[in-house]
Amino acid sequence: MRPFTYQRVATAAEAAAAVAGNPGAKFLAGGTNLLDLMKLEIERPAHLVDVQDIEGLGTIEQAEDGGLRIGALVTNTTLAANERVRRDYGVLTRAIVAGASGQLRNKATTAGNLLQRTRCPYFYDPNLPCNKRNPGSGCAALEGYSRQLAVIGSSDKCIATYPGDMAIAMRVLDATVETVQPDGTTRAIPFAEFHRLPGDEPERDNVLAHGELITAVTLPRPLGGKHFYQKVRDRASYAYALVSVAAVIQPDGTGRVAFGGVAHKPWRVEAAEAALPQGAAAVTAQVFADARPTEHNRFKLPLATRALAGVLAEAKG
Amino acid sequence: MLAGSGAAVALTQAPGVQAQGSSGGAATPPTMPVSFTVNGKEAELTLDTRVTLLDALREHLELTGSKKGCDHGQCGACTVMVNGTRINSCLSLAVQHQGDEITTIEGLGTPDNLHPMQAAFVKHDGYQCGYCTPGQICSAVATLAEIRAGIPSHVQDDITAAPAFSAAELRERMSGNICRCGAYSNIVDAITEVAGA
Ligand SMILES: Cc1cc2nc3c(=O)[nH]c(=O)nc-3n(C[C@H](O)[C@H](O)[C@H](O)COP(=O)(O)OP(=O)(O)OC[C@H]3O[C@@H](n4cnc5c(N)ncnc54)[C@H](O)[C@@H]3O)c2cc1C
Ligand code: SF4
Ligand code: FES
Ligand code: FES
């Protein structure tokens, strides 16, 4: 790990200014992703701004419009266990408890979870080229073993996936990410626009500016319906998704669905949701119409259809 | 695969030792004072900011019960409780824990006065080599507390209901603790006895 200086801050504005004014600085929340990457020297911040003491970022509150406001520092465990979340936003609890381990969820924060970096094996291997880790160096995954990687929305520069679970549920719920920008002003980013596709700049996972601090994630009013998070992985627990399905299905068979493990961001095609009453294959035919799988990860396409079919069968039951 | 070749790379670097050629010269790496309570005793240290909670416990406080398996959050051997909550101490900086109350395996019980979970692991042979055991036991104590506190899990059918104790719940909730010796079934027996289920 490279040496770094460390600072604690009391307010969101102070945190944003401290990182914005220092190109080598990064926010530190739970540390479960950042410290992991710092040990491998994939992340090399010269200064860490620990946000754990910031007032008002650690609570879950009712929002004025009947929705929910989740502070950026709320841990995964606290969020998953929240009574309102379990009752009204079950897909979110389901997605969180499908991820990582008990120990990690106790430490992981809402903002840190959204910003976790890819698990592409080549991103983790400093001996190999990776445009995300080292822009312009090439992509070892294109000619490599790409079983875990993206089947859609990828570019010739990067075929990595966004690895997280919680964000797939937030996409289905149409959440909003609230931030404080370096100049002190705030902005609200619709979830669909928060994570990026790799395009020509795979080093940019999302639309945040350097020094822009996430303060909260807000959820709109509850949708009702049945909530599902179906995660398909290589072992029953403590493994990343090969494919995951977050869905909210209404009694009449209409609903919403987003997929994880398939793209550089939570993958949702709203127009395809009209086909939900016709069954899984009708939906995934549209959702994955532009898929560009590799020979190693082609299996994810039928897997996504079957995972959704399982959800729809359960919704009827 | 969780994180590619992560663990192998990290373990080539001794804890607290500066990565070779990475600091750009002879500049001394930044240090900071930090104080917290470990097993009821105050600890005051001045540490390189890079020192993890695990290395602070093992290398600076000589509490070597907590183990380093992977150093990357993948095995659970380093599990300790911070303010009553279990975490992986390898993925936390010591300086993040100013003022915290930390409990390690050494704080749960002593050889003469075992914690019930320690006694149950002995009785049920919940280990072979024992390397994962301190983490398993800390995690097991915290797991029972999490079930009692109503924290939901992936294997619950009804996510709005209070979780019940079962072997399936245990396997899921303890999945962050890997045992290379495969003592899992005896570990489940030990925890089940303490849970009184
Ligand atoms: C072994 C292992 C298995 C895992 N399995 C899963 C899994 O199955 N599913 C899953 O979803 N996740 C999984 N994870 C990832 C885990 O969920 C993340 O590490 C965790 O959520 C990150 O949260 P954190 O608070 O620790 O983030 P940190 O590591 O503190 O931060 C992550 C990033 O976010 C930035 N950041 C933090 N807070 C803010 C803020 N408020 N505003 C702006 N930027 C901020 C930091 O600068 C950093 O770049 C796993 C992790 C490990 C180690
Ligand atoms: S897929 Fe993306 S993250 Fe993986 S090696 Fe290629 S550029 Fe790097
Ligand atoms: S040493 Fe493996 S999880 Fe910490
Ligand atoms: S007893 Fe050897 S690793 Fe668990």
DSSP of B19-71, one letter per residue? PTT-SSSSPPPPEEEEEEEETTEEEEEEEETT-BHHHIIIIIS--TTS--SSS
B132-145 pLDDT, tens digit each: 999 999 999 999 99
Residues of B in contact with A107 (CB under 8 A): 87-88, 91-92
Distance from CA of A189 to the nearest CA of B (A): 29
B106-120 pLDDT, tens digit each: 999 999 999 999 999
Neighbours of A4 (CB within 10 A): 21
Distance from CA of B61 to the nearest CA of A (A): 21
pTM of the complete model beyond 0.90: yes
C-alpha count within 13 angstroms, C-beta hemisphere, residue B127: 18
Nearest to A163 by CA among A131, A105, A205, A129: A205
B15-54 pLDDT, tens digit each: 333 344 444 455 799 999 999 999 999 999 999 999 999 9
Mean pLDDT score of chain A, rounded to an integer?
Answer: 97
ipTM of the complex: 0.97
Q: Three-state SS string across A262-301, please?
A: CCCCCECCHHHHHHHHHCHHHHHHHHCCCCCCCCCCCCHH
Question: Is B160–A104 a contact, with Cβ atoms under 8 angstroms apart?
Answer: no
Neighbours of B46 (CB within 10 A): 10
Going from the N-terminus, what domains does chain A have, and what CATH number goes with each? 5-50 (3.30.43.10), 226-316 (3.30.390.50)
| Token digits of residue B116 | 């019930």
What is the position in ligand 1's atom list of the atom closest to the CA of A241?
8
Instruction: Tell whether the model's pLDDT for residue B6 goes beyond 80.
Output: no
pLDDT recorded at residue B18: 39
What is the spatial order of strands in the sheet that A255-260 belongs to? A226-232, A243-249, A255-260
